[in-house]
A and B are shown apart, each in its own frame.
Chain A
Amino acid sequence: MITLPTESQKTAHIRLNLNGEQTDVSFAPYKTLLEILREDLGHTGTKHGCELGECGACAVLLEGKPVVSCLVLGVECDGKSVLTVEGMGTDGALHPLQEAFADLGAAQCGYCTPAILVTAKAFLDEHPQPSREQIREALSGSLCRCTGYLQIFEAVEEAMVKIAERRKTAA
Chain B
Amino acid sequence: MANQQDHKNAPMATEQTNGSEFRVIGKSRRRVDARAKVTGQTRYADDIFLPRMAYCKLLRSPHPHARILKVDTSRAEAHPGVYLVLTGKDVPIEYGIIPVSQDEQALCVDHVRHVGDPVAAVVAREELTATEALDLIDVEYEILTTISDPEEALAIPAPRIHEYGEEGNIHKRVALEFGSVDEGFAEADKIFEDTFFYQGNTHLPIEQHAAVATKDPDGKLTIWSSTQTPHYLHRALAKVLDMPAAHIRVIATPNGGGFGGKSDPFNHEIVVAKAALRLDRPVKISLTREEVFYCHRGRHPVLMKFKTGVKKDGTITAMDLQTLIDGGAYGSYGVASTFYTGALQTTTYHLPRYRFRGCRAFTNKPPCGPKRGHGTVQPRFGQEVQLDKIAEKLAIDPAEMRLRIVESSNAVTANFFQLSTVNLGECIRRVVKASSWNDRFRKLPEGRGVGLACSAYLTGAGLPIYWNKMPHSGVQLKFDRGGGVTIFCGATDIGQGSDDVLASIVAEVLGLETFDIRLYTGDTDLGPVDLGSYSSRVTIMAGNAALQAVERARALIAEAVSEKLDVPQERLRFADKRVFDFAAPEKGVTFAEAVCLAEGRFGTIGTVGSYTPPKSPALYKGGGVGPSPTYSYSAAVVEVEVNPVTGWVSVPKIWIAHDIGRALNPALVRGQVEGSVYMGLGEALMEEQEFRRLPKKLSHALVHKFPSILEYKSPTSVDMPEVFTELIEEPDPRGPFGAKEVGQGPLLPIMPAVANAVYDAIGVRIDEVPITPEKIMKALAEKKAGREPRFGPSHFPAVPWPEALRIPPPWEGGDGNAVNDPRARKPKAAEREAVDYTATHGKVLR
Query: Chain A interface (Cβ within 8 Å of chain B)?
Result: 1-2, 5-8, 28, 30, 38-39, 42-52, 54-55, 57, 84-86, 88-89, 94, 97-99, 101-105, 107-114, 117, 136-137, 139-140, 142-153
Closest A residue to B723 by beta carbon equals A150
CA distance A51 to B47 in the complex (A): 15
Q: Is the CB of B40 within 8 A of A114?
A: yes
Q: Is the CB of B37 within 8 A of A30?
A: no
Binds A, one of B342-350, B586-594, B669-677, B753-761: B669-677
Query: Does residue B535 face the partner (Cβ distance < 8 Å to A)?
Result: no
CA distance A153 to B717 in the complex (A): 9
Contacts of A43 in B (CB 8 A): 40
Query: Does residue B716 face the partner (Cβ distance < 8 Å to A)?
Result: yes
What is the size category of the interface that chain B forms with chain A? 35 or more
Query: Does residue B478 face the partner (Cβ distance < 8 Å to A)?
Result: no
Majority SS of interface residues in chain B? loop
Q: Which B74-95 residues sit within 8 Å CB-CB of chain A?
A: 79-81
Closest B residue to A133 by beta carbon equals B718
Sample of 11 more A-B contacts, CB < 8 Å, known A45-B41, A147-B674: A8-B128, A44-B43, A49-B289, A85-B39, A109-B254, A109-B255, A111-B206, A113-B38, A143-B716, A146-B675, A152-B717
CA distance A135 to B255 in the complex (A): 27
Q: Which B26-48 residues sit within 8 Å CB-CB of chain A?
A: 28, 30-31, 33-44, 46-47
Contacts of B49 in A (CB 8 A): 39, 42, 44
Contacts of A54 in B (CB 8 A): 289, 708-710
Query: Chain B interface (Cβ within 8 Å of chain A)?
Result: 28, 30-31, 33-44, 46-47, 49, 79-81, 125-126, 128-129, 131-133, 135-136, 203-208, 254-259, 288-289, 494-497, 667-668, 670-671, 674-675, 677-679, 708-710, 714, 716-718, 720, 722-723
Closest A residue to B676 by beta carbon equals A148
Q: Looking at the assembled complex, report how far the CB atom of B750 sits from the nearest CB atom of chain A, in whole angstroms.
A: 11
Contacts of B496 in A (CB 8 A): 108
**Residue among B31, B203, B206, B667 having the largest count of chain A Cβ atoms under 10 Å:** B206
Q: Looking at the assembled complex, report how far the CB atom of A83 sits from the nearest CB atom of chain B, in whole angstroms.
A: 12
Contacts of B717 in A (CB 8 A): 136-137, 139-140, 142, 144, 149, 152-153
Q: Looking at the assembled complex, report how far the CB atom of A145 sits from the nearest CB atom of chain B, in whole angstroms.
A: 5
Majority SS of interface residues in chain A? loop
Closest A residue to B41 by beta carbon equals A45
CA distance A39 to B81 in the complex (A): 18
Q: Is the CB of A151 within 8 A of B674?
A: yes
Closest B residue to A4 by beta carbon equals B132
Contacts of A113 in B (CB 8 A): 37-38, 40
User: If A86-B39, A137-B718, A148-B675 touch, does A102 touch B723 (CB 8 Å cutoff)?
Assistant: no
Closest B residue to A3 by beta carbon equals B132
Q: Looking at the assembled complex, report how far the CB atom of B272 sits from the nearest CB atom of chain A, in whole angstroms.
A: 18
Q: Is the CB of A110 within 8 A of B254?
A: yes
Q: Is the CB of A57 within 8 A of B206?
A: yes
**Residue among A45, A137, A144 having the largest count of chain B Cβ atoms under 10 Å:** A144
Closest A residue to B681 by beta carbon equals A148
Closest A residue to B132 by beta carbon equals A6
CA distance A136 to B671 in the complex (A): 17
Closest B residue to A31 by beta carbon equals B128
Q: Is the CB of A151 within 8 A of B667?
A: yes
CA distance A29 to B699 in the complex (A): 40
User: If A54-B709, A102-B30 touch, does A145 touch B679 (CB 8 Å cutoff)?
Assistant: yes
Q: Looking at the assembled complex, report how far the CB atom of B372 sits from the nearest CB atom of chain A, in whole angstroms.
A: 10
Q: Is the CB of B207 within 8 A of A109?
A: yes
Closest A residue to B289 by beta carbon equals A50
Q: Is the CB of B206 within 8 A of A148?
A: no
